[in-house]
Amino acid sequence: MRIAVALVIVLALGSCSGRASGPISASCLTSGRSAANPALCSCIQGVADQMLSGSDQNRAADFFEDPDKAQATRTSDNPLTENFWERYRRFADTAEAICG
């Protein structure tokens, strides 16, 4: 199943212009991380566009600016937050596999 999802995302990303923009890409580019570059951030945004809603993307973009928010989200006992964290982890694992 995981391979099928990754394949669909790779095919969808291959058909785009290569310059995806959105909240994840913007936060990635301004994060100050040495590995952040337009191609990588665009790739991550492309995966986010396929896997996360707009509100989930905005929430996840905050993690680039404040990593402590990710930790607080991960350890939350709120069921809605736990569901978001599961979606975010699937996205993060897929983005890592596709975008390197």
* Total Cβ atoms within 10 A of residue 51: 18
pLDDT of amino acid 2 = 55
The more confidently predicted of residues 5 and 69 is: 69
Distance separating alpha carbons of residues 65 and 100, to the nearest angstrom: 21
> What is the rounded average pLDDT for all residues in the chain?
86
Residue 60, C-beta contacts closer than 8 angstroms, at least 6 positions apart: 23, 24, 48, 52, 88, 91
Q: Using CB atoms within 10 Å of the CB of residue 88, give its burial: 0 to 12 exposed, 13 to 18 middle, 19+ buried.
A: buried
Each residue's pLDDT tens digit, 58-93: 999 999 889 999 999 999 999 999 999 999 999 999
Distance separating alpha carbons of residues 38 and 21, to the nearest angstrom: 10
